[in-house]
Amino acid sequence: MAAELTINEVAHIADVPPRSVEKAIETGIMTPVKRRGMFTKTRARFLNVDAVCYFATVGHMRFLKEIPVSRKKILMKAIRGMAGTNLAPLDLEPGLHLDLPMIAGTKLEAARAYMVNKKRHITSDLEIFGGVPIIKGTRIPVYAVSGRLADGDTIDDLLEDYPEIPREAFVAADIYARTHPERGRPVAAGRPWEAAA
């Protein structure tokens, strides 16, 4: 399975801090692939969707954080062996039975849906907002979607305003915006006089 998720996307979907993903890479539990991002010229590190399953499992089973790296590598290898298939229960060692479909199934489905919907609904065009990622077929930046949701609107509010856009497009736009922060300085950063105006 191709490495299609950035470190931030894996962390967001699995609901773990990005530092946890970085630490797993540093300790050799998983190896990222370095390549160009969807809308950037810079190279980024990407992981397979099985990383979401790993972090969802470790995040759910708090005691797994304390096991040695060698055992975590075994867990990752077992999860990777299921790549492309449905998750199955796993006996990591005698007395340690992990019901992976129950523990990580929902987050794995969310990751797979995001990967499909990101490709289907998010694009970038230099002629529209200088290449800021937008929802395909619109002039709606992903950051505007995320901003509205952060300000209290719901996906249903967005659907009411834009009935021609599918729910999946808004969900993908929000995840993309949260995991790919805009470059540059925030509007008022370094210019306190603008914030007061």
113 φ/ψ sector (left φ>0, alpha ψ -120 to 50, else beta): alpha
Kindly tell me if the per-residue pLDDT of 1 is higher than 90.
no
pLDDT value at residue 126: 87
Structural domains for the chain: 5-119 (1.10.1660), 124-179 (1.10.10.10)
CB neighbour list of residue 169: distance below 8 Å, 6 or more residues apart: 117, 120, 121, 122, 135, 136
Write down the pTM of the prediction. 0.86
Q: How far apart are the first and last CA of the chain?
A: 51
pLDDT value at residue 156: 96
174 touches 148 (CB < 8 A): no
167-189 confidence digits (pLDDT tens) = 999 999 999 999 998 876 554 44
pLDDT value at residue 96: 81
Which whole number is the average pLDDT over 53-67?
83
Report the share of the chain in percent with pLDDT over 70.
91
Rg (CA), the chain: 19
